[in-house]
Structure 1
Amino acid sequence: MEENPDGSRAYLKIDRVRVADQILEDLRVRILRGELPHGSRFPPDRDLAARYGVSVATVREAVRALASQGLVRVRHGSGSIVTVRTETLIAVSLASAIQLEASSVTDVMDILGVVNSHAAGLAARHATDEELASLREAAERLASIEDLDRAMQDLRSFLRLLSGLCGNPVLAAICSFLGQLQVELAMELSQRQMLPLREVAGALHNDRILVVEALEARDPERAEQATRAYHDHALELLTSSPGTQQIRLSDPSYTRLISSLMSTKLVSLTR
């Protein structure tokens, strides 16, 4: 690997074959190695074109590909920003797989139940007392649901905290993305009057408390079982209404709904 006199990694000398792909890969590696960290300003197209010895149009092709992978957010007129985060990368991969397979809500939530159960088992071993106290506070805020929008924010917070307690960043990112998708799906169905969201969220309160109690007991097996029971109950409630059954059985409609939710979620993650 060639280096500059200051020790930094030298930009590649690009062959004329598949130029944009080579630039894409070189920039992707730089981002994932931390040379271009999350939140930093991405080098201007003209600067990159000069460094690689190619046209601005070729650089822009590579940058568009980086943006589609969730690594860069292109802001016309004010420069692009690096948006590399584990959750973003996992979201892009999971979104692509779910859309490709036209996965049902049952498929998605079953995966969430499996990974969150495993994460809960790890959390019972590794979470601090302070983290568990924060999780209990988040769960108890959902005991009484008066403002539905506020309750959904509290639910997002509970799921985010629950997924983050396992001590495994990759597993936490998978749990977090799927959990947030579950909330978005429930809200979308509620807005279409296909799901009594207030009743569903309230009915799951005891399940959330049982998860917290198992974690506080530092019992991995109990935590896994309680978390799986929570997700099974959520799935039962989410798919029990006639409206939800109808959309679940109508593949084209459900596929469009999932695709729309995925696109919205990915845009929010790369901001």
Structure 2
Amino acid sequence: MSLTDKAIERIRELVRSGVLPPGSKLPPEPELAAQLGLSRNLAREAVKALAVARVLEVRRGDGTYVTSLQPSLLLEGLSGAVELLQIDPGALLDLAEVRRLLEPAATALAATRISDAGLTEVERHLEAMREARDDVERFNVHDAAFHRAVVAATGNESLLTLLEGVSGRTLRARVLRGTVDAEAAAQTLADHEAIFAALANRDAALCQAAALLHVSNTEQWLRQHLESSGHRREDPAE
């Protein structure tokens, strides 16, 4: 571990232990460095790194503060990392697998928690998808918003942020599917109709099954498309 990494870890420990709770102001740089037994340069580098990670916020002319530490803030960098992962077709398939593992369970949980207002929001995006069947980009925007509204209904911000980072970045794959597959919109719409019907009935088991079928359909299409394009995934057992 480098000296900078050690400095970062020491400040993290102050946050984890509650010495520096969310929203609190850090001591001035000389005092912080002395408190941690570090040089001012190391303390400054550690603060910069933690600001990038959204653990700290540097307010020019005011000082440095611990952020709210909300999941949506701390996991903000996930979507950017996932965007880069899409360069590798194999990594894109990995992301599809992650979505298949998480989204059906999240949809089942949403069925037990969704409010009438939440259900109305999901239905609004479903109706927009119906109206945009011939507009691939608009259709896919509401496709993504439909899933976001479903997961948001769980009230679990960490789960929402994780799935936004993963499935939100597969939007490009869904747009591609809509471009090359004329039947994709009809199939996707049918899948979403089934998910909404299960949600409306607050049927968790049916929600999970409908969501699993939907994400599995998308994943299977992606696998076939990549293979036909010459991107065959290596089998670890080979």
Q: TM over 0.5: same fold?
A: yes
Flag structure 2 segments of 5+ consecutive residues without an equivalent: none
Q: Aligned pair in 2 of structure 1 residues 125, 58: CA closer, same or farther (>3 Å)? A: same
Q: Which residue of 2 aligns with 1:85?
A: 70
Q: Aligned pair in 2 of structure 1 residues 73, 151: CA closer, same or farther (>3 Å)? A: farther
The sequence identity of aligned pairs, in percent, is 19
For residues 152 and 226 of structure 1, what CA distance do their matches in structure 2 show? 19
Q: Aligned pair in 2 of structure 1 residues 246, 85: CA closer, same or farther (>3 Å)? A: farther
Say whether the 8 Å CA contact 1:105–1:248 is kept in structure 2: no
For residues 135 and 231 of structure 1, what CA distance do their matches in structure 2 show? 17
Say whether the 8 Å CA contact 1:91–1:174 is kept in structure 2: no
Superimposed CA distance per residue, residues 101-120 of structure 1 (whole angstroms, 9 cap, x where no aligned partner): x7533322122122111111
Q: Which residue of 2 aligns with 1:130?
A: 117
**TM-score, scaled to structure 1:** 0.64
Say whether the 8 Å CA contact 2:173–2:222 is kept in structure 1: no
Shift of the alpha carbon at 1:185? Answer: 4.5
Equivalent position SS for 2:121: helix
Q: Aligned pair in 2 of structure 1 residues 62, 236: CA closer, same or farther (>3 Å)? A: same
The yes-or-no answer on 1:142 pairing with 2:144 is: no
Q: Which residue of 1 aligns with 2:162?
A: 174
Superimposed CA distance per residue, residues 126-176 of structure 1 (whole angstroms, 9 cap, x where no aligned partner): 111111111111122111325544434323321211212223333333222
Shift of the alpha carbon at 1:123? Answer: 1.3
Shift of the alpha carbon at 1:25? Answer: 2.6
Say whether the 8 Å CA contact 1:87–1:177 is kept in structure 2: no
For residues 105 and 76 of structure 1, what CA distance do their matches in structure 2 show? 39
The aligned length equals 221
Amino acid at match of 2:170: Q
Runs of 4+ in 1 over 6 A off after TM superposition: 73-81
Amino acid at match of 2:167: G
Superimposed CA distance per residue, residues 167-196 of structure 1 (whole angstroms, 9 cap, x where no aligned partner): 333333322221212114545xx4xxx871
For residues 173 and 12 of structure 2, what CA distance do their matches in structure 1 show? 31
| Partner residue of 2:102 out of 108, 115, 120 | 115
Q: Aligned pair in 2 of structure 1 residues 205, 84: CA closer, same or farther (>3 Å)? A: same
Amino acid at match of 1:208: H
For residues 151 and 43 of structure 1, what CA distance do their matches in structure 2 show? 47
Say whether the 8 Å CA contact 2:178–2:185 is kept in structure 1: no
Q: Aligned pair in 2 of structure 1 residues 36, 210: CA closer, same or farther (>3 Å)? A: same
Q: Which residue of 1 aligns with 2:32?
A: 51
For residues 26 and 238 of structure 1, what CA distance do their matches in structure 2 show? 44
The yes-or-no answer on 1:233 pairing with 2:217 is: yes
Q: Aligned pair in 2 of structure 1 residues 86, 217: CA closer, same or farther (>3 Å)? A: same
Q: Which residue of 1 aligns with 2:139?
A: 151
Say whether the 8 Å CA contact 1:163–1:176 is kept in structure 2: no
For residues 205 and 228 of structure 1, what CA distance do their matches in structure 2 show? 15
Superimposed CA distance per residue, residues 79-116 of structure 1 (whole angstroms, 9 cap, x where no aligned partner): 878484314544657958x96xx753332212212211
Shift of the alpha carbon at 1:31? Answer: 5.1
Q: Which residue of 2 aligns with 1:66?
A: 50
Say whether the 8 Å CA contact 1:195–1:244 is kept in structure 2: no
Say whether the 8 Å CA contact 1:141–1:154 is kept in structure 2: yes
Q: Aligned pair in 2 of structure 1 residues 35, 212: CA closer, same or farther (>3 Å)? A: same
Flag structure 1 segments of 5+ consecutive residues without an equivalent: 1-16, 252-271
Q: Which residue of 2 aligns with 1:196?
A: 179
**TM-score, scaled to structure 2:** 0.71
- Larger mean CA deviation between 215-224 and 78-87 belongs to 78-87
Amino acid at match of 1:249: R
